[in-house]
Amino acid sequence: MEIIRRNTDYGIRALVFMAQKPIGEIFSLSDLAAQIEVPLDFLYKIFRKLAEEGLVTAHRGANGGFSLKKETEKITVKEVVEILQGPLAINQCFLSNKPCSYFSKCFLKKRWRKVQEEVEKILSGLTLEELAKGGKHFV
């Protein structure tokens, strides 16, 4: 079971690489893909989604590419995960507001809720800025 899917891992790696550079720097996807060693077509799909959600800005033209739209200390890993994967849920139960038919008898719900809360807390508290400071070469 993957909690962080491959596309999300690629997206986070790309954003962290960008966060290690001066704010406002524009990155071509081909250069970015080469730097972090991910397939260009995969990265294009990821960045299209990140741009739609306002995390990065697309720049057109000969010197086009992408730049971070938000400050790195304001971008959390949880935000990136939810943009690229959808709502964060440790169990199917947490994806709906309606309790399942087994909810009233479930002896695991409190434990799963605790795991859910801890995962959310960790990912909400982890920013691109913190990951970028983790070392000169993140990947």
Instruction: Please write the tens of the pLDDT for every residue from 33-70.
Output: 999 999 999 999 999 999 999 999 999 988 889 999 99
pLDDT-based confidence at residue 1 (cuts at 50, 70, 90): low
Q: What is the CATH number of the domain that holds 48?
A: 1.10.10.10
CA–CA gap between residue 71 and residue 68 (Å, rounded): 7
Could you tell me if residue 102 is inside a domain?
no
Could you tell me if residue 94 is inside a domain?
no
Paired residues of 3 in beta bridges: none
CA–CA gap between residue 79 and residue 76 (Å, rounded): 5
Could you tell me if residue 38 is inside a domain?
yes
Specify the pLDDT at position 138: 44
Could you tell me if residue 106 is inside a domain?
no
Q: Which domain holds residue 15?
A: 6-85+127-132
pLDDT digits over 111-131, tens only? 888 998 999 999 999 999 999
Could you tell me if residue 12 is inside a domain?
yes
pLDDT-based confidence at residue 73 (cuts at 50, 70, 90): very high
CA–CA gap between residue 109 and residue 114 (Å, rounded): 9
Could you tell me if residue 116 is inside a domain?
no
Could you tell me if residue 118 is inside a domain?
no
CA–CA gap between residue 25 and residue 81 (Å, rounded): 23
Could you tell me if residue 36 is inside a domain?
yes
How many domains in the chain?
Answer: 1
